[in-house]
Amino acid sequence: MAFDFVFVWLLVPAHLATALLAMLAVFARPSKPGTGILNIGIKRLACGYLGALVATLLYSVAIGGDKFPLLYILIAPLVIVIITVIGLPLFALVSKFGFSSLFGVLLIALICSVAYSAYSLITFEPYNIWCHANEAACMARSPIYFTFAAILIALGFGLGARLPVVK
């Protein structure tokens, strides 16, 4: 299977990134409230990434069944990149308006997942013969599963970063 090569290729970097995040979460100095990166500090940010990775693991177990390690290794780098490229800039934007909380993170996840789901419904057919042969991949394109994954990962990030529920 072609994914076996990708699995082995991504396994070491995924473990190294997780180990680096764990070391930052344990050994970084906590910053004072209202200072640091995004007003939460590097330690809480690393804990947020670890929470998102734990939520990704839970999602992979729930949807992947016995192939969850492969699914996790394929999804985890994408989750880290998406949080870094899309999530953190949007979190910085909503924190300017006073929504730097768990509610703000969930709101970002909901808006992004609804926007992507609307895009995927417009560009892809909702059901075709390919979906019949590849049900798991077609299910991943479904708006319900994507929204569930986005909210679960955002909840993991928010709880890991110990964000207040409402600010």
pLDDT of 6-26, one tens digit each?
666 666 777 777 777 777 777
Residue 3, pLDDT score: 60
At 99 the three-state DSSP class reads: coil
Residue 127, pLDDT score: 59
Q: Quote the CA–CA distance of 120 and 50 in Å, as a whole number.
A: 28
Q: Which residue numbers in the chain have pLDDT < 50?
A: none
Question: In the block, which residue shows the tokens 């299910």?
Answer: 139
Residue 7, pLDDT score: 65
| Burial of 113 from C-beta contacts in 10 A (0-12 / 13-18 / 19+) | buried
Q: Is the dihedral of CA 12, 82, 153, 127 positive or negative?
A: negative
Global pTM value? 0.79
Residue 100, pLDDT score: 84
Residue 110, pLDDT score: 92
**Contact yes or no for 25/43 (Cβ under 8 A):** yes
Residue 103, pLDDT score: 92
Residue 106, pLDDT score: 94
